[in-house]
């Protein structure tokens, strides 16, 4: 077994999306080659209703999949092919936009005003860019929870892990999407396929992701760290990008650690991306926006 070294450790950055929703972006836009097949990860945990209630009114998507995972509060959604519903705490909505969909996502906080969750964008390969849109709505109780002997908990949203399969299927990039909780002071090894790109996003507690037998103190890539002291520990809102290997090893801190662990097979295709539409060429991108202007963007889909 070879431990995946940490390639980069960064903090998610505040940004604003939709009609004025305050959130933090772990990665997205710019060059996302190292995360291929994933394009973007937004952390929309917020305890201030006026910072999120404006939501994400009607907007289009084409050529991607959006994966919404809610921890607290609810997200009401509706779309152009007649789907509507609510994503509740612990639920996942995996939307394959394919040839095109127009939808809205409107967050509502819980009784304490909390709206917590994440949205991940996954790219579609060229062969599936224009596939029919579809949804996989997964309720919290449908997501397997695996508990290891040392108390490690893993919610398995998608893919295969420790002999179990997640409820989301038929995804081109064959992703594995885990919500991992490790008890204080525990050291844990988690398998990740060698040919995959992989990252972790910490959202509770903290810990050290390890290089060989020792915790990582300095990222393996010095660029960007010349004038700063690199963080020794990955804590809340830390994104950890891994290099190649077949396992991730983490040493949980005094408060334990909870993080998303996501991996997928890189598509290695050209990306032409503007806003909510991601294609392979600039011509395809321009065509999508021309169709939006003409009212011919929607091609049909499955409820």
- Give DSSP secondary structure letters for 111-157: TTS-BEEEEEEEE--GGGTTSPPEEEEE-GGGS-EEE-TTS-EEEEE
- Give the tens place of pLDDT for each residue, 223-279: 444 444 444 589 999 999 999 999 999 999 999 999 999 999 999 999 999 999 999
Give 45's pLDDT tier (boundaries 50, 70, 90): very high
Q: Domain of 202: which CATH number? A: 2.60.120.10
Residue 302 domain flag: no
Residue 301 domain flag: no
Residue 303 domain flag: no
Residue 108 domain flag: yes
Give 216's pLDDT tier (boundaries 50, 70, 90): very low
Q: Do residues 224 and 267 lie in contact, with contact meaning Cβ atoms separated by under 8 Å?
A: no
Residue 30 domain flag: yes
Q: Which residue has the higher pLDDT, 221 or 50?
A: 50
Q: Rounded mean pLDDT of 130-150?
A: 94
Structural domain boundaries enclosing 18: 6-294
Give 31's pLDDT tier (boundaries 50, 70, 90): confident
Burial 142-176 (b: 16+ CB within 10 A, else e): ebeeeeeeeebebbbbbbebeeeebbbeebbbbbb
Provide the 10 A C-beta neighbour count for residue 254. 10
Q: CA–CA separation, 288 vs 299, rounded Å?
A: 11
Q: Rounded mean pLDDT of 28-54?
A: 95
Residue 1 domain flag: no
Residue 226 domain flag: yes
Looking up tokens 């940490």, which residue turns up? 6
For residue 299, is pLDDT > 90?
no
For residue 214, is pLDDT > 70?
no
Number of domains in the chain: 1
Residue 99 domain flag: yes
């Amino acid at each position: 077994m070879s431990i995946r070294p940490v390639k980069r450790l960064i903090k998610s950055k505040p940004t604003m999306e939709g009609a004025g929703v305050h959130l933090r972006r772990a990665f997205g836009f710019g060059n996302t080659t190292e995360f291929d097949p994933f394009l973007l990860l937004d952390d929309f945990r917020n305890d201030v209703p006026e910072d999120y209630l404006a939501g994400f009114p009607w907007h289009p998507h084409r050529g991607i999949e959006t994966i919404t995972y809610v921890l607290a509060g609810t997200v009401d959604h509706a779309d152009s092919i007649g789907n509507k519903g609510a994503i509740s705490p612990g639920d996942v909505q995996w939307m394959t936009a394919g040839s095109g969909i127009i939808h809205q996502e409107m967050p509502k906080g819980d009784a304490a005003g909390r709206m917590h969750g994440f949205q991940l964008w996954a790219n579609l390969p060229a062969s599936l860019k224009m596939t029919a849109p579809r949804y996989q709505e997964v309720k919290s109780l449908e997501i397997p929870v695996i508990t290891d002997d040392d108390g490690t908990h893993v919610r398995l949203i998608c893919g295969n892990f420790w002999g179990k399969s997640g409820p989301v299927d038929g995804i081109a990039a064959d992703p594995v999407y885990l919500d991992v909780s490790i008890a204080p002071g525990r050291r844990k090894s988690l398998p990740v396929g060698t040919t995959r790109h992989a990252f972790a996003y910490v959202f509770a507690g903290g810990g050290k992701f390890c290089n060989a037998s020792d915790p990582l103190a300095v990222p393996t890539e010095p660029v960007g760290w010349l004038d700063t002291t690199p963080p020794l520990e990955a804590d809340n809102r830390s994104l950890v990008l891994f290099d190649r290997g077949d396992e991730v090893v983490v040493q949980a801190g005094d408060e334990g650690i909870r993080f998303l662990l996501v991996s997928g097979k890189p598509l290695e295709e050209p990306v032409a991306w503007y806003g909510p539409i991601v294609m392979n060429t600039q011509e395809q991108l321009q065509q999508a926006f021309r169709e939006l202007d003409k009212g011919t963007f929607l091609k049909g889909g499955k409820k």
